[in-house]
Chain A
Amino acid sequence: MAELTNKPAKAQTSTWKAIWAVVWKDLAAEWRSRELFTAMVIFAALVILIFNFALDLNPKIQRDVTAGILWVTFTFAGTLGLNRSMAVEKDRGCLDGLLLAPVDRSAIYFGKVIANLIFMFAVEIVMIPLYSILYNVNLFQPGLLLVIFLGSVGYIVVGTLLSTMTVQTRTRDVLLPILLFPIVLPVIISAVRASTYFLQGQPMDLIMPNINMLIAYDVIFTALAYMVFDYIVEE
Chain B
Amino acid sequence: MIEVRNLVKRFGLKTILKGLEFDAQPGEFIGLLGPNGAGKTTFLRILSSLSRPNMGLVKVAGYRLPQQAAQVRRKLGVLSHQPLLYGDLTADENLRYYGKMYSVENFAAREAEVLALVDLSKRKDDLVRTFSRGMQQRLSIARAVLHDPDILLLDEPYTGLDQDASEMLDGVLKQIAAQGRTVVMTSHDLARSAELGTRFDVLSRGKIISSASRDEIPQDGLLGFYRKALLIAAAEKNNAKEAANG
Contact = CB atoms under 8 A, between A and B. Distances in A.
Q: Does B bind A?
A: yes
Interface of A: 1-13, 17-18, 20-21, 24-25, 28-30, 32-33, 88, 91-94, 96-97, 99-104, 234-235
Nearest to B78: A100
Contacts of B102: 10, 13, 101-102
Nearest to A2: B116
Contact of A13 (B50, B87, B101, B107): B101
22 contacts: A1-B117, A4-B148, A4-B179, A6-B106, A6-B109, A8-B105, A8-B147, A9-B106, A13-B100, A24-B97, A25-B89, A25-B93, A29-B86, A32-B88, A91-B87, A92-B87, A97-B84, A99-B50, A102-B73, A102-B74, A234-B50, A235-B11
B117 A4 contact: yes
Interface of B: 11, 45, 48-52, 66, 70-71, 73-74, 76, 78, 80, 82-89, 93, 97-98, 100-107, 109-110, 113-114, 116-117, 119, 127, 143, 145-148, 168, 171-172, 175-176, 179
Nearest to A233: B50
Nearest to A101: B101
A88 B52 contact: no
Contacts of B93: 25, 28
Contacts of A103: 70, 101
B103 A10 contact: yes
A17 B50 contact: no
Given A4-B114, A11-B103, A235 B179 contact: no
A232 to B, nearest CB: 12
Question: Interface centre among A2, A91, A235, by most B CB within 10 Å?
Answer: A2
A8 B80 CA distance: 23
A101 B97 CA distance: 11
Given A10-B147, A21-B101, A92 B106 contact: no
Given A2-B119, A10-B105, 15 more contacts: A3-B175, A8-B146, A9-B106, A10-B74, A28-B93, A32-B88, A32-B89, A93-B80, A96-B80, A96-B84, A97-B85, A97-B143, A234-B50, A235-B50, A235-B51
Please report whether the interface of chain B is mostly helix, strand, loop or mixed according to DSSP. mixed
Contact of A6 (B45, B84, B88, B113): B113
Contacts of A32: 88-89, 127
Identify the 4 closest CB pairs spanning chains A and B, nearest first: A93-B82, A97-B84, A2-B116, A102-B74
A1 B82 contact: no
Nearest to A97: B84
A20 B109 CA distance: 22
Contact of A21 (B66, B70, B97, B179): B97
Contacts of A30: 88
A113 B23 CA distance: 40
B86 A94 contact: yes
Contacts of B85: 92, 94, 97
Most buried by B among A4, A93, A99, A235: A4
Contact of A28 (B48, B89, B104, B146): B89
A110 to B, nearest CB: 14
A20 B97 CA distance: 10
Contacts of B66: 234
B73 A17 contact: no
Contacts of A102: 70-71, 73-74, 101-102
A92 B113 CA distance: 24
Contacts of B97: 21, 24-25
